[in-house]
Amino acid sequence: MMRIDACCIFMETIDRIAKLFSNCKENGRSAFVGYVCACDPNFDTSLLICKSLIENGVDILELGVPFSDPLADGLTNQLAAQRALESGCCQDDVFRLVKEIRKFSQIPIVFYTYYNLVFSQGIEEYVNRSVAAGVDGLLTLDLPPEEADELVSCCREKGLKNIFIVAPTTPMERIPKIIESTSGFIYYVSRAGVTGEQKELASDLEVRVANIKKHTDLPVVVGFGISNSVQASAVGKIADGVVIGSTLVNCISGNLEDPSVIVQKIGERAKNLSSGL
């Protein structure tokens, strides 16, 4: 008899990402995608941070998987990964963190990761572990869709979403290829470069998002550089989701001496950002 994995059935039957964006659309608002690095500054505090974010308006939890060479990240998120690794965090802890979150929340969870972390474990093994833990999607930063057939195929078989990036430098003719490999949502990087807070939004953001939407019905979220509720509100009027990370991570780095203050501050920051949406 063919063995059917129960967790795969669950993932295919209940598409948490699609359901979330549908609910947001019905309520006339944009989704708040909140980023923090898993296990920053340590496992126990990270779990409390995730709980605080969920309780204070984050709709999709984007968990950075700690990596020693986070090439898409600015200094804030590089240091977050470094703190997590120095605390002893390994891949097992990241999956365990998701399992613990699943005990109290069904929020969509996306891994913000790098291909070496996937490939080194074996693609099928990594996907199976992600699904079993309760992960909804993978955003593999350094894997272009042209090289991602094996991962995309395995994820589709297991019910895991693949989120790919469109950048300001992406040629228009390449967008359909990216969309062809994408599921869950499209991630538009609002500026060239790495993650980090910015004082101003890109002036051509509305045009760029509209160009992507000409090719797909998938939700389009915008990230990189959004740092306050005014910016979040402006982006939320254009895009289906707003990704905010560095300004949340700074609540951790600025209060390392007291985990309870971290949890309080990051909850307050998330609540304020959520009000902009």
User: What's the CA gap between 180 and 174, in Å, rounded?
Assistant: 10
Q: Classify residue 66: in a domain, yes or no.
A: yes
3-class secondary structure, 232: helix
Q: pLDDT confidence of 3, banded at 50, 70, 90?
A: very low
For residue range 106-127, list pLDDT tens digits in order.
Answer: 999 999 999 999 999 999 999 9
Q: Classify residue 199: in a domain, yes or no.
A: yes
Tokens of 45: 């505090």
Q: Classify residue 3: in a domain, yes or no.
A: no
Q: pLDDT confidence of 199, banded at 50, 70, 90?
A: low
Give the DSSP H/E element, type plus range, for residue 85: helix 75-86
Domain holding 40: CATH number?
3.20.20.70
The CA radius of gyration of the chain, in Å to the nearest whole number, is: 17
Q: Classify residue 167: in a domain, yes or no.
A: yes
Higher pLDDT, 11 or 141: 141
Distances 186 to 133, 166, 246 between C-alpha atoms, Å:
23, 7, 20
pLDDT, residue 191, reads: 60
Distances 35 to 51, 116, 216 between C-alpha atoms, Å:
13, 20, 25
pLDDT, residue 70, reads: 84
Domain extent, residue 132, equals 16-21+29-275
Q: Classify residue 4: in a domain, yes or no.
A: no
Q: Classify residue 51: in a domain, yes or no.
A: yes
pLDDT average, residue stretch 243-260 = 95
- Whether the pLDDT of residue 195 is over 70: the answer is no
Residues with a known catalytic role: 62, 73
What phi and psi values does residue 14 have, to the nearest 5 degrees? -110, 100
Q: Classify residue 136: in a domain, yes or no.
A: yes
Cβ count near 269 (within 10 Å): 21
Domain tally, the chain: 1
User: What's the CA gap between 68 and 264, in Å, rounded?
Assistant: 28
Q: Classify residue 94: in a domain, yes or no.
A: yes
pLDDT, residue 2, reads: 32
